Amino acid sequence: MKILLKLAILALSAGLAACQQTAPRRVPEPVDPAPPVIQSSNVPAAPTASAATASRTQSPTVITLHLAQEKAEAPLVAVDVGGTSLYALPQPVLTQADLLRVTPVTAQGQRTFILLEMNQRGLSKLRSVTAQAQGHYLLLSVQGQLASVARISETISDGRLMIGTQNAQHTQAILKLMQGGQ
């Protein structure tokens, strides 16, 4: 836990204090008015200026990643992750402002993932978080809903975070939420 608190202090001093806090609000406010490019079979890879403007006028998309652990400690917030609880920092360590691109991935054996590619700012944050919090978790939240959980097993230096999904339908549902759909 001391690592998490040190990481929280480091993250806050690195500029995360200005990021959107998602708990305990019911409907979070936008972190970044322009969401990252979401690549899938139904979504164009590079939206036009009119599409970007339209997406800003619709309900805003909020993507956050929170650092979590198995042990309850203050000031961590309990999060139900399917019958068990993880305890997360209330302040996200990464937000959609740190994302460049979101891509669905299907691997061997039909395993499905969402690939989150970070922009330059997000790359350094992801590297720092994953270097200091191995064995802990990243909780992916979209529009205030927990979408997926990833255990940190190694330092991610290339800015590419693969988060597992249950199946192709789950992947598409997460992408739809990221696009502002319900």
Task: Quote the pLDDT of residue 129.
Answer: 97
pLDDT by residue (tens digit) across 92-105?
999 999 999 999 99
Task: Quote the pLDDT of residue 182.
Answer: 56
What's the pLDDT band for 179 if we cut at 50, 70, 90? confident
What's the pLDDT band for 156 if we cut at 50, 70, 90? very high
Arithmetic mean of pLDDT, 39-46: 37
What's the pLDDT band for 28 if we cut at 50, 70, 90? very low
Domains and CATH numbers, the chain: 2-20+31-178 (3.30.1360.200)
Mean pLDDT of the chain: 74
Determine if the peptide bond prior to 44 is cis (ω within 30°). Answer: no
Please give the torsion angle defined by the CA atoms of residues 124, 56, 41 and 109, in that order, rounded to the nearest 10 degrees: 40
Nearest to residue 103, comparing CAs of 172, 26, 177?
A: 172
